[in-house]
A and B are shown apart, each in its own frame.
Chain A
Amino acid sequence: AQKVTQAQTEISVVEKEDVTLDCVYETRDTTYYLFWYKQPPSGELVFLIRRNSFDEQNEISGRYSWNFQKSTSSFNFTITASQVVDSAVYFCALRTNFGNEKLTFGTGTRLTIIP
Chain B
Amino acid sequence: GAGVSQSPSNKVTEKGKDVELRCDPISGHTALYWYRQSLGQGLEFLIYFQGNSAPDKSGLPSDRFSAERTGGSVSTLTIQRTQQEDSAVYLCASCQGARETQYFGPGTRLLVL
A residues with a Cβ closer than 8 A to B are 33, 35, 37, 42-47, 50, 91, 97, 99-108
> Is residue B65 within 8 Å, beta carbon to beta carbon, of the partner chain?
no
- Cβ of A42 and Cβ of B106 under 8 Å apart? yes
B residues with a Cβ closer than 8 A to A are 33, 35, 42-45, 48, 56, 58-59, 89, 91, 93, 98-99, 101-107, 109
- Cβ of B42 and Cβ of A108 under 8 Å apart? yes
Q: A37-B104, A44-B106 are in contact. Are A101 and B99 (CB under 8 A)?
A: yes
- Cβ of A102 and Cβ of B103 under 8 Å apart? no
Please name all residues of chain B whose beta carbon is closer than 8 Å to the beta carbon of A100 when the two chains form the complex: 45, 48, 56, 58, 98
Query: Max chain B CB contacts within 10 Å: which of A44, A97, A102?
Result: A102
Instruction: With CB as the reference atom, state the residue of chain B lying closest to A45.
Output: B104
Which residue in B43, B44, B103 is a CB contact (below 8 Å) of A47? B103
Which residue in B102, B106, B107 is a CB contact (below 8 Å) of A103? B102
Tell me the smallest distance from the CB of A47 to a CB of chain B, in Å: 6
- 9 of the cross-chain contacts (CB-CB < 8 Å) are A33-B99, A35-B101, A43-B89, A44-B107, A100-B98, A101-B48, A101-B98, A101-B99, A108-B43
